[in-house]
Structure 1
Amino acid sequence: MITVTGAEKLLFLRVGEEQSAQEKFFGYLQWTREGLGKFTFAIVLWVTHQLMINLIKKAPDFWSWRNGVFRFFSHAKNVISAREVEAIRFGLINTELENFNSDNDYFLPIEDLQRLIQQIEQQSEIKDAKLASLYTTLANIYKQRLNRGEAQDYQQELDLAIKYTYKALELQKELRLEENIATRLNNLAYLYESQGRYSEAEPLYIQALALWRQLLADEHLDVATCLNNLAGLYESQGRYGEAEPLYIQALALWRQLLGNEHPSVATSLNNLALLYYSQGRYSEAEPLYIQALDICEQQLGVNHPNTVTVRENLVDLRDRLPPA
């Protein structure tokens, strides 16, 4: 048996070439099929769904010789959907992808996304807000892939999320886009925190919080989010005394801005309860879990993942309480 792997790493974009690496591969399969047919053993190609669709189109004779197609499902994937790049459609003008179909779930291999950005960078005569938006979208795509468990190489895509968040941040500073700067600072801090790089994350959260307060005053959802994120960072480091007032401020803001029954209020209640639980302050944590569970059941339903999480937290807490 001959096993062929790695085809998903072949580049999809031409970027000035007559044929892309993928197209050359399909051409070899199509025009050497007679020679391949002389092998006395099986040839097994491992391909993604997107590659299979292109193979059917570009190497139809080779495809017609198949003896079988076996499908294996994995949450990790190397392609992104057209919907994920819809926000940067403006950046695809004058590229080979400018007229794409937004319903294509297998639009672009993730490796080619970087090459596309590099191509746009080279074509951009001046650095402007559109280029910053490109960097932001690319960073968000990597971040979302990490959160959804789709990254095939977690560390590599985490590093790329940081790289493009930083690029967006530096350009937005240059262009004095202050509100966008605060968002990028917060996102970069989150990515550093996910790597355990707490000393690098902390000053970024603090800068983002100060900037949002300056731009938006204290009564804004972004301020509440950053307070919550900074509190979570302190909690991860065991700095409970510094985390508690920030969680309390975030909870008060969400209640003020969203009302007492909003799911974000439930999340905030759960976060504060977890902090108290970590300190052994069970009697203070229990009523917060109860409030959070009541909101989740009413607003999200009894089987929603958030509801299940809060319920499990409450059960775990009650197992630790002394008998009444």
Structure 2
Amino acid sequence: MDDVAAENKHQLRRLVWSIQSSYGRLNLLVAICDNWKYRDEIIDTYEAELREKGTRCDRIRIDLRQPSLKQSLQEHVEQEPELETSPAAVVTVLGADELLGLRLNQERSALEQFLFSLQWTRESLREFKLPLVLWLTPRIASQLADKAPDFWSWRGGVFEFSQPVAWAFEPERGQSQSQEQPPTSPTADPADLQQQIDELLAQDPDSPLLGSLYNDLGKALENEIRYDEAEVAYHNALNCREQQLGADHPDVANSLNNLAELYRAMRRYGEAEPLYERSLAICEQQLGADHPFMAISLNNLALLYNSMGRYGEAEPLYERAITIDEQVYGKDHPDVATDLNNMAGLYKSMGRYGEAEPLYERSLAIRKQQLGADHPDTATSLNNLAELYKSMGRYGEAEPLYMQALAILVKTLPKNHPYNKTGYSNFRHLIQSALEAGQADQLSDHLMTQEILRQLSGLE
């Protein structure tokens, strides 16, 4: 563990030095990490250090619909023209690790399009005279070297970060009951993962990598709503980890949590509960009662109780999760916003609207401040607060929040994405509820509302 930490610090120093030595000229710096949450911590660290020295630190995200590094940079520079005149600036490039390898009836998958464009992008990027830190997973970095060798050979440095032991346990934090958030961690092609598993089983059936591969396969299948297959994959991951690591290892808790989350999605609550409870017990024993992953486990078990209508059992779990995250991260961290959002959802389910409102408002304020006004998580908070206002009959206050949430989702996601359809459906239900309650006068001009519905009708 000490060796890993020391090597990560060494890589971070190399990365900071490479950035500082590249001001005013284009330099491609490839950073590799297989843990998105740890990756974000590294980015926050080097950006904080550089900003103290007067460096401008921008972040861009590859457009999942048109995955081109050059296009994403051009669009960002058009919006932030002062970037080109900044004497010291760096751009961190995210989103490449979220590109799917699935072709989905297209000639090339999003990942293949991205890699193909990079192979022919090198010279056209020279107009951007600043260092670029391109974040990839090990798997995608390997594909980049293979599919875009010219671009890869042009790199100014490769910086590999290995997740510390404390980051190995990564259960998914449960989301609000009002509107699920888009997944933020990347998923891979299930067929590709199954091929890797088959090859590894043939070569080394006792490999410690099998547990992780089965776990990734479960996530990929779950993301495609192939729940029966995901259940098998998660069980295989759990069995591998129990045999290789022991029954009380944090990775076993991770597998228990993921299987429980799947059962919760399938409404198999009775099977999910003992898995959540065992995962929580392992976390407390191995990581400590105040560890941030305890907050995640507490949230997930509370969400299950909420789904089962066991509100009295859910409330103290949410309260404990909020306390842990505020102590670990501070009161304005996005994880605290998620905790507050979940607690507000519980109060809404209980009809305690007056207690839910300030929690939703605080969650929204944190996400706007920390993530930005156009982030999908901000859209979730806007939607959930609007749902609360609709339940309270405050239709006029709900309407602009629904519209803001939908505008963010339409801007950041493909038009036919299911979250856009949910936003549109919520907006229509608001109008219907107001009409049924005889409160249509609370809404904006009727003709304008109909025009909005007409423009969005393609989302149905």
TM-score range, shorter chain: 0.5 to 0.7
**Secondary structure of 1:191's aligned partner:** helix
Q: In structure 1, what residue type is equivalent to 2:272? A: L
Structure 1 distance, partners of 2:419, 2:233, is: 32
Letter in 2 for 1:223: V
Corresponding residue SS for 1:291: helix
- Contact (CA 8 Å) 2:382, 2:404: kept in 1 or not? yes
Q: Distance in 2 between matches of 1:212 and 1:306?
A: 28
1:116–1:163 distance in 2 versus 1, CA, 3 Å:
farther
Residue 314 (1) aligns with residue 416 (2): no
CA contact (8 A) 1:133 1:168 kept: no
Aligned to 2:389: 276
Task: Report the count of equivalent residues.
Answer: 226
Q: Which of 150, 166, 185 lines up with 2:298 in the alignment?
A: 185
2:411 is equivalent to residue 298 of structure 1: yes
Letter in 2 for 1:229: N
CA distance in 2, matches of 1:302, 1:225: 26
Segment of structure 1 superposing worse, 258-267 or 245-254: 258-267
**Matched AA of 1:262:** H
Report 1:114-263 matches (<5 A).
119=243, 131-147=249-265, 149=266, 154-172=268-286, 175=288, 178-263=291-376
Is the CA contact (8 Å cut-off) linking 1:296 and 1:307 kept in structure 2? yes
| Counterpart-to-counterpart distance in 1, 2:369 and 2:263 | 33
Partner Cα distance (1:234, 1:192) in 2: 13
CA distance in 2 between counterparts of 1:184 and 1:303 reads: 33
- CA distance in 1: counterparts of 2:333 and 2:209, whole angstroms: 39
Structure 1 residue 222, shift from structure 2 partner = 0.6
Q: CA deviation at 1:224?
A: 0.3
* Cα separation, 2, equivalents of 1:211 and 1:225: 13
Residue type at the aligned position of 2:413: L
The 1:155–1:212 alpha-carbon spacing in structure 2 relative to 1, beyond 3 Å, is closer
SS in 1 for 2:404: helix
Q: Distance in 2 between matches of 1:112 and 1:308?
A: 35
Post-superposition shift, 1:161? 3.0
Q: Report the CA distance shift for 1:99/1:304 in structure 2 as closer, same or farther (over 3 A).
A: closer
Q: Deviations for 1:269-319, whole angstroms, at most 9, x for unmatched residues?
A: 010000000011111101111111111111113322111111111112123
Query: For residue 187 of structure 1, what is the amino acid of its counterpart?
Result: N
State the alpha-carbon separation in 1 of the partners of residues 205 and 416 from structure 2.
46
Q: 1:291 to 1:132 in 2, by over 3 A?
A: same
In the TM superposition, what is the alpha-carbon distance from 1:192 to its structure 2 partner? 1.9
Letter in 2 for 1:165: S
TM-score by length of 2: 0.44
Q: Secondary structure at the match of 2:351?
A: coil
| C-alpha spacing 1:198/1:286, structure 2 compared with 1 (3 Å) | same
Highest RCO, 1 vs 2 (Cα 8 Å, sep ≥ 6): 2
1:304–1:96 distance in 2 versus 1, CA, 3 Å = same
Counterpart amino acid of 2:285? L
The answer for unaligned runs of 5 or more in structure 1 is 1-79, 87-93
**C-alpha distance in 1 between matches for 2:392 and 2:299:** 27
Shift of 1:252: 0.4
Distance 1:219 1:109 in 2: 37
Q: Is the 8 A contact 1:247 1:271 kept in 2?
A: yes
Q: In structure 1, how many angstroms separate the alpha carbons of the residues matched to 2:209 and 2:369?
A: 45
Would the aligned equivalents of 1:244 and 1:275 in 2 still touch at CA under 8 Å?
Answer: yes
**Shift in Å at residue 83 of structure 1?**
6.0
Name the larger-Rg structure.
1
- 1:133: how far off? 2.8
1:180 is paired with a residue of what secondary structure? Answer: helix
Contact 1:136–1:168, Cα closer than 8 Å, also in 2 = no
Q: CA RMSD in A?
A: 3.3
Structure 2: which 5+ residue stretches go unaligned?
Answer: 1-189, 197-203, 219-228, 447-460
Determine if contact 2:410/2:420 at 8 Å carries over to the other structure.
yes
Where 2:253 maps in the other structure, the secondary structure is: helix
Return the alpha-carbon distance in structure 1 between the equivalents of residues 305 and 270 of structure 2: 14
Identity of aligned residues (%): 39
The answer to whether the 8 A contact 1:289-1:314 is kept is yes
